[in-house]
Amino acid sequence: MSTRIARRRFSYSRLIAPLLLVLFAVGWYQFSAVYIQGADNQLVANNNLAVYVPVQQVQGYLAALLDATYLTVSAGLIVFAYYLAKLIRIGRARPTE
């Protein structure tokens, strides 16, 4: 019986997925910060107060979203660093032929 351990091929999608998650989270925050405040101001300018959101509520939403964005970016970068280190370790463990 062979004692050789079968190695699985490294999946680069595990390295790219956290970066895509980080970009999505940052993009969602930027979109919300620009669009929600602009739309709210436009509603006030058009005197359409039926769907108006108070400024404090918008600021609270953006503050909570910013915290969630920081958390998502931190977790995504940690996962990216883990898989990058794993890729480097696999690359060094392979014998040069």
Q: Which of 69, 80, 74, 78 is nearest to 13 (CA)?
A: 80
What is the distance between the alpha carbons of residues 47 and 36, in angstroms, rounded to a whole number?
Answer: 17
Q: What is the pTM of this model?
A: 0.76
- Backbone torsions φ then ψ of 48, nearest 5 degrees: -105, 85
Give tens-digit pLDDT for 9-38.
778 888 999 999 999 999 999 999 999 888
pLDDT class of 92 with cuts at 50, 70, 90? confident
Domain spans, the chain: 13-89
